[in-house]
Amino acid sequence: MFRAIVLFALIASLAPHAGAQQRPPQGSEFQLFIENDLLARTDRYYTNGIKFGGGVPFEVLQLPATELLKQLAPRGGSAIHLGLFVGQNLYTPRSISVSQPQALDRPWAAWLYLGGVAQRAKENRLDTVEIDLGLVGPSALGKEIHAGWHDLIGATKPMGWHNQIPNEPAFLVSWLAKSKHALGSRHGVDLEVIPHGGGSIGTVMTLARAGASLRLGQHMTGFGPDTIEPGGSMLQNMRRDIESGRAHGVEWYVFAGLDHRLIAHNIFLDGTVFRDSPRVRHRPHVYDVTLGVSLRINPVRISATRVRRSEEFFTVANSGGPQTFDSINLGIEF
């Protein structure tokens, strides 16, 4: 049943007006996020993430997200904008060629979800609420996607997916607030700082987070690069409503950022909530350091980010180590 819902949502998000042989209405958008450690020449830990969608009505998730946003965000400002996303994350231990259980390493895990988003901006602040519902375990199709991709590119066959955490319904409610502040301008090049803060609660993760990014560029819109994490994506129809600078030509910027998370629960490390499963002890403090570049040539935006993530769990010899992966975001406005 869940797979049928996901398939329906995907078809609706990609081609809501295909039968009418016309462009989607103005203000529609499509976003695609891909995160992978391929360029870092590793295949471990958080090994792949994909998330895609746009402005598709799905009131089961978007209505509660809207009501929560009204409680968390300042009153007034722009209209509330809505989005719908489908995503999947894959996690593995350090060695994917071992078929036996690896009790002292990160568990095999997959997370497949449908997310409803509500978002509102006021002056220099952007608030986003995202509610994700889905499944962890074999029904999240981690084995099929991982093995299929490795077979396609001729990479090492993953051998341990039969050891993954078991099937369990899962949910995540997230809120993220961003603000942007100009630091100066010279020769048409602007400098901005964008602090952020928020949190998530649910059976998937429970955490608080804070950080900031610094960006340097021309004709900059939005609130920095969009990210795959819950609440991290700015809807392009929101950008159209609040950004007068978006018509000023090509937008580009380079950026660097830091995100710190205080983690109380992580299902991909601590194991499933209602069933016994493989697990390791998570580290309560995890941070990401990011560097990247973003380019927009109306109506297309693309950003590329290199992410350096600190060690997420404890090992016997403290040898798990940090991780490096890359993130690509493609956005198309109509």
Is pLDDT at 4 greater than 50 in this prediction?
no
Could you give the number of structural domains in the chain? 1
Contacts of 11 (CB under 8 A, 6+ apart): none
The residues facing 313 across adjacent strands are 282
pLDDT computed for residue 7 by the predictor: 38
318: three-class secondary structure by DSSP: coil
The CA–CA distances, whole Å, from 191 to 178, 181, 197, 208, 239 equal 16, 9, 20, 27, 19
Within the chain, strands assigned E span 29-36, 45-54, 81-92, 109-122, 125-136, 168-179, 181-186, 189-202, 205-218, 251-266, 285-297, 300-309, 323-333
Residue-averaged pLDDT of the chain: 86
β-pairing, 189-202 vs 300-309, is unpaired
In one-letter notation, the amino acid at residue 139 is S
Q: What are the phi and psi torsion angles at 261 (to 5°)?
A: -125, 130
Is pLDDT at 241 greater than 80 in this prediction?
no
Would you place residue 332 in the very low, low, confident or very high pLDDT band (cuts 50, 70, 90)? confident
Q: Confirm whether pTM is higher than 0.95.
A: no
Taking Cα atoms as reference points, which of 178, 217, 239 lies closest to residue 295? Answer: 217
pLDDT in tens, 106-157: 999 999 999 999 999 988 999 999 999 999 999 999 999 999 988 888 888 9
For residue 65, give the CATH number of its domain. Answer: 2.40.128.140
Question: If you count DSSP H runs as helices and E runs as strands, how many of each does the chain have, helices first?
Answer: 5, 13
Would you place residue 17 in the very low, low, confident or very high pLDDT band (cuts 50, 70, 90)? very low
Q: Domain limits at 162?
A: 2-333
